[in-house]
Structure 1
C-alpha cells in the first residue's frame, strides 16, 4: 500500500510539473535543463502518458491513490475480491478511454504536442465522430464513461440520483426554513419598528390630545322613604299580619373600596389602544366607565375599521391584556362608540338589601317589581314584570341563576302583600323554592312532584279563563281596569255581584243564591318554575302547550310566568315558548349556541359568572 501511494505521488508530481521543453519519449529537446521536479525520468514518464492519454492522464495517479485508500480501509482480501478487482480495473480503463475521447472532441491541446486526449483519444474520438457524427460520438462516450464509473466504483446511478435528490430536497427545505426565519425576523423588525413609531406618535398625540373622560363611580344609593321610616322603631303599634317584611332583615352592603385611580384607568386606556394597534386596528379610548364588576372602555374606531374586526379579537385581547375575558359591545345605545368591557381585578359584592333600599325600587309603584342588580355603571336596575310580561332565565350550573331567582322572589315579597300578589311555585329540584313553604303569598304548597305540576298549570289556565269572563262581563280590558272598577264600586257601597256565578245560577236553578259572592280585587299571580328542562323531560308536550297558552293570553288577566332553566337547548326553550316570551335574562353559559338560543345573539358565553347577567328587555 505504501509503494502504491508513493508511485501515485511521484506520478502526480511528474504530470503536474510537465514542461514541453523537457526531453522525453516523443521529443528529444534542445535544452539541457530538465524542469520536471522528478527529473529526467519524470519528464520522460510524463511525456509518455500525455502522448498516450492526453489530459486524462491525471486519472492514473488518482486511480492509484483511490486503490491505496480502498486497501487501507479493507485491510485484507475478501472472498471474491480478485474478481471485483478485475471488474473495477476494467471499469477504470473504460472511464479513461471515454475521457480521452471526450477530451479530444471538446478541448484544445494547449501545451501538449498531440491532441488533448492523446493517441487513444484521437483513435476513439475521431473514429466515433467519423461514424456517428459529433453529437452521437459525444453521447456514446458519455454513456461509456458512466458505465465505466459504475463498474469502477461499484455504484448504481439510481442510488446516486436518489441521494442527489435527497440532498436537493434537504437543500430546498433548508432554504425554505432560512427564508421563513428571514421573513419572521423581517416581520419582527417591522413590528418593533411600527411599535416604536406608534409609541412615538402616541407620545406626541398624548401631549396634544385630552385624556379620556373618566366617569366617576356611581354614588351611594339614596335611601328610600321606606328605609328611613323603618329606622324609627314603633313604640305602641303592634305589627300587623298584612305588613311588608322590614328591610332590617337584610344585611347592609359592605363598605365600598376604590378599585382604580384615574391615573390607572388612563394608563389602562393607553394599553388597550396599544394592544389594538398591535393587531393593526386604530381606535381611541374616549371615555372610561368603572363599574362594580367590569370596567367599560368606550372606543372610537378610526374611519374604515369595522366592528366585526374588533369583535373577532376578543380572545386575543384578553390574552394580551392578561385578563379573564373581554366582552365587545358593538352598539351602545345613544352613543357613536363601541364598548370594551374588561373584568375588574376585585369585584364589588352587590347585595339585595342595597337594591331594595334604593329609591329606584321604592318609586316603582308596580306590585311586580323585580330587583335585578346593578348595571355597568353601578346604578340599580329594577324591572316591572307586568310590562315584560313574562321572563325567561337561563344559565349554566354555578352561574348565579338560583340566587338571582331567589332575589326576584324576595323583591316581590318586599313589594306586595298576599292581597296583591300570589305565587304558584314549581320546584323540580325540591331545594331552591321549598324555603318559601308556608308564606301567605302561596296559592298552593310548593309543587315538587312533576306529575302535579301539570295540574298546577291547568289550574292557572282555568283561572285565566275565569278572569277573562269576569273582565268581559264588566267591559274592561285588563286586570288593572277590573280592580279599579271593583274598588270604586266597593268604595261607593255598591259591590258588584259575581256575573259569572249569577249567569250560572240563572241557567241552573239548583245553584243556591247564597253561593253568589261580591267581586273583590283580583291579585296578580306569578307562576315560578325553577327548572323547566326537568319539567319538559318528564311531562313533555302537555306542559309546553299549557305554558304557551299562558304566555300568549295570561298578561291581561294578571298571570305572569318566570321560567328558569340551566339547559337552554332548543328542545327545552322551543320556538313556541321563545316567540311568546320576548324578555329574557342570560347568566353565564358554556357555549355560543346556548347564548344564541336564549338571547338570539352571542355574548353570554363571555360572562364572568357569580351573578353576572345579560338582560334583554
Structure 2
C-alpha cells in the first residue's frame, strides 16, 4: 500500500478537521433518527385517532373497562380523546403535519442539519395559526359526529368561533380564518403557492392534452371505420347494380337475376372471409439515423476556441445546414388496415385474388406486400397498375414484381402527406460518415426512412434525366454538396459546365474547382479536352508505377512519403542533367458536372461527343467521373457513340 501523501497526513493530524467530520456525521445520523421517529409518531397518532372510542378511559372519562378498544392502548385513547375534545375534526391535522415533516426530512436527508432558533420560532408561530384557524373553521362549518363531545372544532374552535361569529358573522369569520389558515400552512411547511399554481397548471394542461389526444384518436378511428363502411357499401351497390340489357324475355331476365344473386353471394362470402382474416402486419419505418448523430456531428458540437478560416484541408461543418425537424407519425394502424382491405377489394374487382400480408409505411410511399392466390401470375398484377391507380384515386401505383427473400409482390402507393427529408439529416448519418470514398453521394432516404448512400467511383458515371420540376437540379446539387462535405480539395476536384449560367454559378470560387464555372460552350470543349489529357497522363503514371487504379497509386505514393523515400515523377523530361524530377503527390478524384447536357450537345455536339465517349469508357480507373443532367435523354442527345 502506498504511503499517504502530505496533504492527507495534514488532514489526519488536524484535530479541527476531525471534529468537523465527526459533527457532520453526527448531524446525518440525527437526521436519520428523526426520520424514523417522525414516521413512527405519524403512524401511531393516525392509528390512535382512527380507532377512537368514547367508551375508552380518557382525560375526561375515568371509567374502568376490561379491554381498551383503541389500537394505541391507554395512551392512544387518552391522546385521541384530548385532541378530539380540544380540536374536534381538526385533530386529524396532526398526523398530516407529521407526514409532511417526515417527507421534508427525507428530501433533505443528504444535507447537514443546521439548528436555527429564529426559524424554529417562525415555524412554531405558523403551527399555532394553523391549528387555531383550522379549529374555528371546523366549528363554523361542521356539526359534531355521533359520540363526539363538544363541537366540530372542539373547545378551542367553539370558544374562538363564537366570538368571531358575533363580531364578523359567518361569512367574515370564514374569510378571516381561511386567510390565517393558509398563512399558517405556508409558514409552517415552507409551501410556495406560486409553485403549487405552476404544478396545478402543468398537470391540468397535461391532462387536457391527454384527453384531447384520446378523443382525437377515437374520432379519427371512428371516421375511418365509417369511411370504410361507406366504401364497402358503395362497392356492394356497384356490384348489385350491374348494367343488364333491357330484354323483354322473362327467361333472360331470370338469368340476369341469377347472375346478380351469385355475385352478391360471392361478394358477401369474400367480405366475411376478409373480416375473419387477421389484420396485416404493419411494420413502422425504422427510426432515421439522424437520431443517432455520427462521430463527426458530435465532434463539431464543440466549436474551436480560435477559428482560422485559412486552414487548408478542413471540411465545412454540417451545422451550417438547416436542422432536421422532428417527424410526426403520418399514419395510423386503422388507416393502413382500411387501405389494405380496399386494395384487396379493388384487385378482386379485376379478377385477381390477393391477401395483404404486411404494410411498410415510409416517408414518401407506402409498400403493401401482397400474396397472390395460387395460379395468379405476377404479370397480371403488373398490367393492372394504371387501372389500380385510377380505381384507388392515386396518381400512380408501382408494382414490385420480385422482393428479394420473399414470395410476396410489392405494391407501392404514394402517401398523401409526403415528409420532407432534410439534407443535413442524411449527412449526419453514420452511413455517410463511415463511407471512405471521397466521392460519396447522399441521395436521400429509402421507403423505410433509412439513409441511401452511393459511391460515384463504383458507378462510375451518372446520367440524371427528368422533366422540369421533377427534382433534377435538387439531385445534382445534393450530389455536389455531398462531395464538398466529404472531401477536401486535395481529395476531390471538380469541373462544372453550366449552359444555363444559373444553376452552378453559386459554386464559383470554391477551392474544389479546377477552373472557373464554364458557361461558354466553346470553352466546354477545352475543359473536356483537358480532362482527356489528364486521363492519359494518369494512365501513363499508373503504368509506370505498376498499379491498376487511382486508389493503388495514391496508396503507393503515401507509403513512400511516410517511409521518407518519396517517389520521383517518371514522366518528367529533363532539360539538363542537373534537373531533378519533382516528387509525386497523391492525385485527387475529378468529377465533371454538366448541368444541361442537351444544350451543350446542340451547340458543340460534334466537338464534345468523342471526348465524352472517351471519358465514359476509360476514365474510371484514372479517377475521373461524369455527372450529366438533361431534360430529354433522346437519341440526338445521348448518341449511339456515347451510349
Out of 256, 259, 265, the position equivalent to 2:330 is 259
Which residue of 263, 266, 270 maps to 1:197?
266
Match of 1:554 among 609, 612, 619: 619
The verdict on how the C-alpha distance between 1:265 and 1:188 changes in structure 2, with shifts beyond 3 A counting, is farther
Conservation of the 8 A alpha-carbon contact between 1:385 and 1:560: yes
Aligned twin of 1:272:
343
Q: How far is the alpha carbon of 1:574 from its aligned partner? A: 2.8
Matches within 5 A, 1:59-458: 178=247, 190=259, 193-194=262-263, 197-207=266-276, 209-221=277-289, 222-236=292-306, 238-239=308-309, 240-458=311-529
How does the TM-score come out when normalised to structure 1? 0.61
How many Å separate the matches in 1 of 2:519 and 2:248? Answer: 70
Cα offsets for 1:443-492 (capped at 9, x unmatched): 00011111111111110000000001111111111111111111111111
Q: For the structure 1 residues 202 and 247, does the alpha-carbon distance in structure 2 shift closer, same or farther, using more than 3 Å as the test? A: same
> Deviation above 4 Å: which 4+ runs of structure 1?
175-193, 511-515
Separation in 1 of the partners of 2:569 and 2:366? 57
Q: 2: CA distance between counterparts of 1:455 and 1:515?
A: 31
> Partners of 2:602 and 2:255 in 1: how far apart?
60
8 Å Cα contact 2:288/2:449 also seen in 1:
no
- 1:206-244 per-position Cα deviation (integer Å, ceiling 9, x unaligned): 42x332111112213121011111111222464523210
What SS does the corresponding residue of 1:422 show, helix, strand or coil? Answer: strand
Q: Deviations over 1:151-209 (max 9, x none)?
A: xxxxxxxxxxxxxxxxxxxxxxxx987489999997798478536533433323542x3
CA contact (8 A) 1:536 1:543 kept: yes
Secondary structure in structure 1 of the residue aligned to 2:642? helix
Determine if contact 1:301/1:337 at 8 Å carries over to the other structure: yes
3-state SS of 2:443 partner: strand
CA distance 1:475–1:306, shift in 2 (3 Å) = same
Give the one of 571, 578, 595 matched to 2:636: 571
Mapped partners of 2:487, 2:254: distance in 1 = 70
The Cα of 1:576 is off from its aligned counterpart by 3.5
Alignment match, 2:60: none
**2:595 aligned partner:** 530
Greater radius of gyration (CA)? 1
CA distance in 2, matches of 1:495, 1:575: 45
Deviation by residue 1:346-380 (Cα, 9 ceiling, x = unmatched): 00001111100011111111111000111111111
1:459 and 1:187, CA in 2 relative to 1: closer, same or farther beyond 3 A?
farther
Please report how far the alpha carbon of residue 517 of structure 1 lies from its aligned counterpart in structure 2 after TM superposition.
1.4
Offset from partner CA, 1:269-291 (integer Å, 9 cap, x none): 01100010011111111111101
Q: How does 1:578-593 map to 2 (within 5 A)?
A: 578=643
> Contact conserved, 1:524 with 1:558, CA < 8 A, in 2?
yes
Q: Return the alpha-carbon distance in structure 1 between the equivalents of residues 592 and 250 of structure 2.
A: 66
Is residue 496 from structure 1 mapped to residue 567 from structure 2 by the alignment? yes
1:260: how far off? 1.1
Decide whether aligned partners of structure 1 residues 324 and 430 sit closer, same or farther in structure 2, where only a CA change above 3 A counts. Answer: same
Structure 1 residue 572, shift from structure 2 partner: 1.4
Contact 1:328 1:340 in 2 (8 A): yes
* Contact 1:283–1:301 (CA under 8 A) maintained in structure 2: yes
SS in 2 for 1:280: coil
Corresponding position of 1:167: none
Alpha carbons 2:466, 2:632 under 8 Å: kept:
yes
8 A contact 1:195–1:278 mirrored in 2: no
Q: Provide the alpha-carbon RMSD of the alignment.
A: 2.5
SS in structure 1 of the partner of residue 525 of structure 2: helix
User: Aligned to 1:543, which of 608, 631, 635?
Assistant: 608
Contact kept? 2:288, 2:450, Cα under 8 Å: no
Report deviation, 1:264. 1.2
Give the whole-Å Cα distance in 1 for the aligned partners of 2:544 and 2:298: 44
- For residues 366 and 550 of structure 2, the distance between their equivalents in structure 1, rounded to whole angstroms, comes to 42
Please tell me whether the aligned partners of residues 314 and 326 of structure 1 are also in contact (alpha carbons under 8 angstroms): yes
TM-score normalised by length of structure 2:
0.59
From the superposition, tell whether residues 517 and 459 of structure 1 become closer, same or farther in structure 2 (CA, over 3 Å): same
**Whole-angstrom CA distance in 1 between matches of 2:314 and 2:259:** 72
Q: Secondary structure at the match of 1:289?
A: strand
Give the distance between the partners of 1:180 and 1:437, measured in 2 at CA.
83
In 2, the alpha carbon distance for the partners of 1:304 and 1:325 equals 26
Gaps of 5+ in 2: 1-243
Change (3 A) 1:418 1:563: same
**Corresponding residue to 2:537 among 461, 466, 473:** 466
Partner of 1:583: none
Relative contact order (C-alpha < 8 Å, sep 6+): which is higher? Answer: 1
Instruction: Give 5+ residue unaligned stretches, structure 1.
Output: 1-174, 579-617
Out of 179-188 and 420-429, give the one that drifted further. 179-188
User: Partners of 2:300 and 2:258 in 1: how far apart?
Assistant: 69
- The answer (yes or no) to whether the contact 1:295–1:341 under 8 Å persists in 2 is yes
More displaced, 398-407 or 216-225? 216-225
